[in-house]
Amino acid sequence: EADIYQTPRYLVIGTGKKITLECSQTMGHDKMYWYQQDPGMELHLIHYSYGVNSTEKGDLSSESTVSRIRTEHFPLTLESARPSHTSQYLCASSIGWRTGELFFGEGSRLTVL
Amino acid sequence: AQTVTQSQPEMSVQEAETVTLSCTYDTSESDYYLFWYKQPPSRQMILVIRQEAYKQQNATENRFSVNFQKAAKSFSLKISDSQLGDAAMYFCAYRGSGGSNYKLTFGKGTLLTVNP
């Protein structure tokens, strides 16, 4: 199994709360990604990072923010959670852009009431 | 923009039999990469198989093989001797080689059920 970890796996939270989804990898990968996946739907890229101090927005607009202060750590933050943020968030990492395989975490399933 | 289409939302197969999952894609690029990922229930998504568009030979990984038809923009996955552990959601994905080559575009997935 890949050495990429996400916490929490499941989170139920009220509207307006601030939440941070943690993602860590021990493979030394430069590239890291956050995907959003609704049940039965495809994955949509919401953030990615080339490396430390580099973050970019993906294709799907998201109110979340990310940071990359250390190579191994790529947390995602929602300052004020809303029910529309209810989804599964998948973190991934890779060595390179082209043929590099993406290694995924187990996902964080967020429910905002 | 590239799109990936998986026309089979659900498929089922008997254990030990063969099943083929379909995937088509749309691109104007000549050099790109195609992937099949497997997402078991509540577990990590993992890479099943990868195909480089410049390679004419179809990729094979043990019981998994692809039928890559570049002209038809088709990339199907064949699973031989299906096992109960193959039950999962399967996603076809595309990565280009141009300026946005960071991007992996996924299809909507096919849920595979394996019947004992």
Q: Give the tens place of pLDDT for each residue, B25-56.
A: 999 888 889 999 999 987 889 999 999 998 88
Residue of B108 and A97 predicted with greater confidence: B108
Residue B5, strand partner residues: B24
Would you call B103 and A42 a contact, using CB atoms and an 8 Å cutoff? no
Looking at residue B70, the DSSP 8-state letter turns out to be: T
Mean pLDDT score across all residues of chain A: 91
The nearest CA of chain A is from the CA of B116 a distance in Å of 24
Q: Give the tens place of pLDDT for each residue, A20-35.
A: 999 999 999 988 999 9
Lowest-pLDDT range of B34-38, B69-73, B78-82, B102-106: B102-106
| Per-residue pLDDT at A1 | 56
Residue A89, strand partner residues: A36, A108
| Per-residue pLDDT at A99 | 62
Would you call B108 and A2 a contact, using CB atoms and an 8 Å cutoff? no
Residue (of B84, B85, B65, B83) closest to B75 by Cα position: B65
Confidence category of residue B100, pLDDT binned at 50, 70, 90: low
**What residue has token string 């104007």?**
B28
Confidence category of residue B98, pLDDT binned at 50, 70, 90: low
**Contact (CB, 8 A) for A91 and A104:** yes
**What residue has token string 């992937």?**
B35
B60 has a pLDDT exceeding 70 = yes
Residues of B whose CB is below 8 A from A97: 95, 101-102
The nearest CA of chain B is from the CA of A16 a distance in Å of 27
| Ordered alpha helix ranges (H), chain B | none
Which residues in B21-36 are b (16+ Cβ under 10 Å) and which e? bbbbbebeeeebbbbb
